[in-house]
Amino acid sequence: MSTQEKHDLAEYVRILARGKNASRHMTLDEAHYTMSNMLKGDYRPEQLGAIFMLMRVLEEDEQEIAGFAKAISEYLPSDLNADLVWASYAGKRRQPFWCLLSALLLSQMGYKILFHGSLSHTEGRIYLHEVFEQFGLPQLSNASEMSQHTLAYLPCSAINPCLQEWLLLKSVLGVRSPINTVLKTISPQHVPSVQGIFHPNYKAMHCGAAALLNHDALVIKGEGGEFEVNPERKCVAQYCFNGEQGEIVISNDKSLFEDKPKDTSPKHLSDLWCGQLQSEYAEQAVVKTAALALCAIEKSSDYDAAFDRCISAWQQRDKNALTSA
């Protein structure tokens, strides 16, 4: 490309960069076009950094998140054989991945759960792909392989290699980029998703993006930023089901559990599952998270009914279903 030729994305950078009074957010269609081009590799590195950082400064909105998510979701099979798509990008640094047991419980209840997430990228955190490896659980090279499993993990790099590379830009740019937000929202239109976030004000953005795309989603401020209920805190889940938005509130009245584990070791997961570990904190985290995920699967706000079903399933679980590899 000669220096005189104008790159296709130049105008889309300009939308965000015209100064204090003239800059604006991209529309859904503009954001979709931008992300589609970048996923195909049709961008200059300068444009990628500019777009991500300008969106960060302006604070990305629902239209932009929806447009980006739509472009990424097009790399997933439209007929994905799953009942729930579960985002896992934050990693854990205080508690084990109790939410993995929630998903395992749901799979024993007859539902197909697909996790997607990041490979390790922050020191001091354990990531879900590492736990899947510990237990010899299936990790997919593409989403179409989900038809062979009831519970599996798909790294975002298997969706498009650019996605993992862009997640690592925090070490270059100094701050997280909108890609961290966007990746949690992706899912084929017919499959509901659950998403965990750090900052409560992002719940409305995630659900608003889902509404724009006619997707079903449930979002919480989860333990460590993952979709996992912390039984020591009030949990307010925001959902978008069948185009309607609302909240599910879990009071979690007990503020301190002395029996919760003190580290992220996956061994706690197998010990709890097989009955060797007695922990009220852990059991509540597992069952309450499973109940919220079941609400998403069934697109229902009836949390109490979902909780009762999950309690029953927990008591009847196959305790031999989780062993270290």
For each of the chain's 325 residues, which pLDDT tens digit applies? 455 688 999 999 999 999 888 999 999 999 999 999 999 999 999 999 999 999 999 999 999 999 999 999 999 999 999 999 999 999 999 999 999 999 999 999 999 999 999 987 778 899 999 999 999 999 999 999 999 999 999 999 999 999 999 999 988 888 888 999 999 999 999 999 999 999 888 999 999 999 999 999 999 999 999 999 999 999 999 999 999 999 999 998 888 899 999 999 999 999 999 999 999 999 999 999 999 999 999 999 999 999 999 999 999 999 999 986 5
Same domain for 92 and 129?
yes
For residue 253, give the CATH number of its domain: 3.40.1030.10
- Sign of the alpha-carbon dihedral angle for 218, 221, 226, 227: negative
Residue identified by tokens 């991945």 is 97
How many domains, the chain? 2
Task: Give the span between the Cα atoms of 211 and 226, in whole angstroms.
Answer: 22
Query: What's at 72, amino acid-wise?
Result: I
Residue 54, SS3?
Answer: helix
Q: Which residues lie below 8 Å from residue 159, measured CB to CB, with a gap of 6+?
A: 72, 75, 76, 116, 143, 186
Same domain for 149 and 261?
yes
Same domain for 128 and 159?
yes
pTM of the model: 0.95
Domain-ending residue, one of 23, 52, 73? 73
Domain that holds residue 41: 10-73
Through-space distance between the first and last CA atoms of the chain, rounded to whole angstroms: 52
Structure tokens that stand for 207 in this block: 């659900």
For residue 47, give the CATH number of its domain: 1.20.970.10
Same domain for 232 and 272?
yes
pLDDT recorded at residue 4 = 62
Sheet with 113-117, edge to edge strand ranges: 151-155, 113-117, 84-88, 193-197, 217-221, 235-241, 244-250
Query: What's at 235, amino acid-wise?
Result: C
Maximum alpha-carbon separation in the chain: 69
Q: Which of 78, 84, 282, 275 is nearest to 194 (CA)?
A: 84
Between helix 45-58 and helix 28-39 the angle, nearest 10°, is: 150
Same domain for 91 and 57?
no
What φ, ψ does residue 193 adopt, rounded to 5°?
A: -130, 155
Whether 2 is covered by a domain: the verdict is no
Whether 218 is covered by a domain: the verdict is yes
